[in-house]
């Protein structure tokens, strides 16, 4: 291969790698508040460009100082997304595949939330996927039992000593109960959302977990994932969503 051809080949590899990285970043922040922040930064960059073009010295100096610290600004803005991406990369690749099985878990979750909804018993159920949730939990009682609707229901009944907080499901096992989750700090969330809903959103902002919420006031069932929440879900819709989300796993690069 000639030196010129070698350089062209390296340029192609370089372009493909950059395109892949940009694509993964877009997937990572898609549908999150980070998208709007990124749009805002783009607007500031346009102001920076035109201030330089038209000789607006004061505006140019301010924006030049701002963009001088842009790396630090981006780290602060996207800290949760960066943490989630690094955790995901540490455990496997971005490539995903469908996994069979888990239907029994889905049915137990749907049944449990239906029972709790009818009784208007508040509940918070975390289903761990690829990223471990352990480091984001407070308190918690070890259980390590098979997931059944009866067990979940009994845990959240008011007379249960561990009814406060969330239950954690890992690898189709109910491993902990009475866990407290980090609350979302998203200022755009509706003020009508209670502590359970904010906790559900908060955990899904920093992990890829799926969190189910049963409202104590209305009995409505909600599902949080990727920092977003879908409210007032009926049984059939919940079943479809859980099958899609829980059956999705990442193919690992390293064993």
Number of domains forming the structure of the chain:
2
Asked whether residue 12 is domain-assigned, the answer is: yes
Structural domain boundaries, residue 246: 98-250
Residue where one domain finishes, among candidates 66, 96, 126: 96
pTM of the predicted model, to two decimals? 0.64
Asked whether residue 255 is domain-assigned, the answer is: no
Residue where one domain finishes, among candidates 96, 115, 138: 96
- Same domain, yes or no, for 30 and 58? yes
Residue 192 falls in which region: left (phi positive, over 0), alpha (psi -120 to 50) or beta: alpha
For residue 85, pLDDT over 80 is answered with no
User: Residue 239: pLDDT band by 50, 70, 90 thresholds?
Assistant: very high
For residue 35, pLDDT over 80 is answered with no
For residue 95, pLDDT over 60 is answered with no
- Same domain, yes or no, for 33 and 114? no
- Same domain, yes or no, for 127 and 163? yes
**Least confident range of 151-160, 199-208, 244-253:** 244-253
């Amino acid at each position: 291969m000639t030196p010129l051809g070698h350089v062209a080949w390296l340029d192609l590899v370089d372009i493909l790698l950059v395109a892949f990285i940009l694509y993964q970043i877009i997937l990572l922040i898609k549908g999150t508040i980070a998208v709007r922040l990124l749009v805002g930064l783009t607007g500031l960059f346009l102001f920076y460009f035109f201030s330089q073009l038209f000789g607006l010295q004061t505006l140019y100096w301010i924006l030049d100082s701002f963009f001088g610290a842009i790396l630090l600004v981006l780290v602060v803005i996207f800290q949760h997304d960066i943490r989630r991406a690094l955790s995901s990369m540490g455990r496997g690749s971005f490539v995903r595949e469908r996994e069979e099985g888990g239907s029994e878990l889905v049915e137990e979750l749907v049944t449990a939330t239906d029972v709790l909804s009818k009784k208007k018993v508040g509940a918070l159920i975390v289903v761990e996927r690829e990223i471990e949730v352990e480091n984001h939990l407070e308190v918690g009682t070890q259980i390590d039992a098979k997931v059944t609707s009866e067990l979940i229901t009994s845990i959240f009944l008011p007379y249960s000593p561990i009814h406060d907080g969330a239950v954690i499901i890992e690898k189709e096992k109910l491993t902990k109960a009475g866990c407290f989750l980090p609350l979302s700090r998203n200022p755009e969330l509706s003020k009508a959302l209670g502590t359970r809903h904010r906790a559900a959103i908060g955990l899904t902002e920093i992990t890829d977990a799926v969190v189910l919420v049963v409202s104590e006031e209305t009995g409505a069932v909600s599902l949080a994932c990727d920092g977003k929440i879908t409210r007032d879900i009926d049984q059939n819709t919940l079943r479809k969503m859980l099958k899609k989300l829980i059956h999705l796993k990442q193919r690992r690069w390293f064993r």
